[in-house]
Amino acid sequence: MRYLVTGGAGFIGSHYVRSLMSPGWTSADVTSVTVLDALTYAGNRANLDPVGDDPRLTFVHGDICDADLVDGLIAEADAVVHFAAESHVDRSIDGARVFVHTNVIGTQTLLEAALRHRTARFVHVSTDEVYGSIDEGSWTESAPVAPNSPYSASKASSDLIALAYARTHGLDIVVTRCSNNYGPYQFPEKVIPLFVTNLLDGANVPLYGDGENVRDWLHVDDHCRGIDLVLHGGRPAEVYNIGGGTELSNKELTGRLLEACGADWSRVDRVADRKGHDRRYSVDITRIHDELGYEPKTDFATGLAETVDWYRTRRDWWEPLKSRAALAK
């Protein structure tokens, strides 16, 4: 199978690519993997270094909004796994235009090429944030989207466009919606790597509002296994939730990170809450479990300890990223 992976130099995309290159990880015969990535601030070629010598891997530096480039790449692919997106809520609040351009127009550009070439399989990777906030229970895939941030609104829009192409044109497209990911190689603006790297450097960490906002945590390896199951067995024009099964308030998560880094609550700065901050996300994974046999395998305590240890030992990876981010402010 010939794969095109958009955003394959980012956190989740690069984990998926590294996994594809691992013997026995997927049931498919992986003949080639082409990564298309614009290498914006969160894309990093170094994320692909562990598989950089694999002759099956081709890296293309480019934009998913470049119709001519996308057309040529999709013409040579049997499957498209679409990770590429602007994905940070705070950045979307400060400036939404790039989120709409990349997440909506970029997705539609890919879909048009998939339509021209009748691509065999297209997986559109999305987020549980499109459902909005839920006080009790968990969102099923049939729940209407009700996004509350410019980021989640742009992702909800791209989800609906992808499903419309599937239903209108009969394309083999499926959408996945995941909960909060964590693991190695995550850009240090997201909460776990931000808090860990700050604490390792002796700096404080910011905790929004009362700290009672709840998220479900999903190890990136479990997420990528779920995507692979959907790629090979999911039903066209359907949505599959992928969750981790560990719900924690931001305050509870902060406590675990402080303990893992040998710090105490004096290192926490209470800051004003984020605008439109969703109170709780929770997805029901019954569909992917019952149809495809998915269940999360990474125990959160183990996964978090391994993640903290990775950042502790990989300053060579994250220190340059934080230095560049500081200079850009």
- The residue annotated as part of the active site, out of 37, 86, 129, 221, is 129
- Fold category of 2-182+217-242 in CATH: Rossmann fold (3.40.50)
pTM surpassing 0.85? yes
- Written out in words, the top-level CATH class of the domain with range 191-214+247-276+303-328 is alpha beta
> Tens digits of per-residue pLDDT, 254-301?
999 999 999 999 999 999 877 778 889 999 999 999 999 999 999 999
> Tens digits of per-residue pLDDT, 60-98?
999 999 999 999 999 999 999 999 998 767 777 777 888
For residue 319, give the H/E element and its range. Answer: helix 315-328
Q: How far apart (Å, rounded) are the C-alpha atoms in residues 225 and 221?
A: 6
Query: Catalytic: 311?
Result: no
- Look at residue 328 in the predicted model and tell me its pLDDT: 40
- The residue annotated as part of the active site, out of 37, 86, 128, 141, is 128
In the predicted model, is pLDDT for residue 232 greater than 90?
Answer: yes
Q: How far apart (Å, rounded) are the C-alpha atoms in residues 4 and 122?
A: 9
Query: Catalytic: 41?
Result: no
- The residue annotated as part of the active site, out of 151, 165, 294, 311, is 151
- Look at residue 325 in the predicted model and tell me its pLDDT: 60
DSSP-assigned states of every residue in 9-20 = TSHHHHHHHHHH
> Tens digits of per-residue pLDDT, 209-221?
999 999 999 999 9
Query: Catalytic: 240?
Result: no
Q: Domain residue spans in the chain?
A: 2-182+217-242, 191-214+247-276+303-328
Tokens matching residue 324: 């560049």
Domains 2-182+217-242 and 191-214+247-276+303-328 share a fold: no
**Percent of the chain at pLDDT above 70?**
98
Query: What is the average pLDDT value for the chain, to the nearest integer?
Result: 94
